[in-house]
Structure 1
């Protein structure tokens, strides 16, 4: 990743700016770097779209409510490189920043979040690098979501590259809470008053209770079952003939990182 050069000019130690051709080269390299992550993101989006179409066409239940995606902007990426004091070369950025490309899958219920993770993780060309299960172990402020870094191959004219993409799985209630929390933190520049933090935590608990109650109602309509914890259901009747692989512990897929 090209950065401005420094050199002594006369007796003063002044920075020497990049020439126009060097600036164009740096711009092109940076755009190509981000392009690779955009392609990786699109590969994940295609896999999700295929699963969603299959559920819609062949089964009577679709666990995917909506999908959003983004590639970090150059400004956002540069800010993160500086905050984390990462060496400003592409190899170091690839190694230390794994959320340059991101996809968020919003599901109806908690069990759907785990099911979709399993369906993606089971695909032969997907490698699960890391998992943070904030559904099973929420953050202190109440944040809940399942985060996974999935590595997917992208085939360019120059050959294959493996691109990490952060995929978040959450319910509608979790997504609503996270959106509100983000707006509050932005409004207060991350210095949120203590009473608001308490209210946010209470709201997170309410959202979690809503998830549990709505999933219980859903299963009462489609079949009997008792919900036990995050993503685990005992004695439940399958809601459809949709493919549902046996869910191994996440630890079998990848190391679960501490929050």
Structure 2
């Protein structure tokens, strides 16, 4: 299992990124004052993501030793960049402030967990939520209830205490858990939907194909899960 820490923030760069994003905008200087602690906030959320990354690495290592099985294929840890963060606040209709980020934005920090099998998705969720210091904030199961596009993944918002010099603070982290097949599909669908130079006719054409492929892929993954389970039962 590999943990990739993608798009982790250069904390010292946050202030200059913020000033650049707000430069020339109405009330830009006032917003900078409301966001003056943004660097500290990013450091806190990055620490929260690292806490969950360590928990997941330990879980995978334990299963390797005790059950000769790695439920996690790989993980990607990321932080939302300043531009995306501010745009999301604006889209939701909130004033730009650190307080509103903490109250209303739940995916400042995120980890994508890619599993080998469907059952591993729910195994990871169950064990992670059973830990005494982890609190479930929100859950959206797009595996049991796929999006209209065919997208499948389990999304959970979880909080964990992060200990700092000033005391313990609870931090929300978004964790997306999906299989290798679901991740491959989502990557292709994202490229189709969000590459602005792709002709709309092609988006519609291949979007319909991807939807049918999502159903086929789910069926294949279910069959592969069954074979794996049969082999595991035979070995035991």
TM-score class normalised by the smaller sequence? 0.7 to 0.9
- Secondary structure, counterpart of 2:85 in structure 1: helix
Pair 59,29 (structure 1): closer, same or farther in 2 beyond 3 Å: same
Q: Which residue of 2 aligns with 1:165?
A: 173
Pair 17,58 (structure 1): closer, same or farther in 2 beyond 3 Å: closer
Deviations 1:121-155 (A, max 9, x none): 00000000110011110001100011000010001
**Does the Cα contact within 8 Å between 2:72 and 2:116 map onto a contact in 1?**
yes
Give distance in 2, aligned partners of 1:198 and 1:17: 43
Deviations 1:149-202 (A, max 9, x none): 001000100111100000111001000000101111122479563222211101
- Secondary structure, counterpart of 1:70 in structure 2: strand
TM norm structure 1: 0.75
Give distance in 2, aligned partners of 1:81 and 1:167: 20
Give distance in 2, aligned partners of 1:89 and 1:16: 12
Q: Which residue of 1 aligns with 2:91?
A: 83
The gaps in structure 2 that reach 5 residues or longer are 1-14
> Which of 113, 119, 125 is the equivalent residue of 2:121?
113
Pair 215,16 (structure 1): closer, same or farther in 2 beyond 3 Å: closer
Shift of 1:27: 7.2
Q: Which residue of 1 aligns with 2:41?
A: 33
Give distance in 2, aligned partners of 1:167 and 1:17: 32
- Secondary structure, counterpart of 1:132 in structure 2: strand
Rg (Cα) greater in structure: 1
> 1 or 2, which has the higher helix percentage?
2
Aligned residue pairs: how many?
Answer: 216
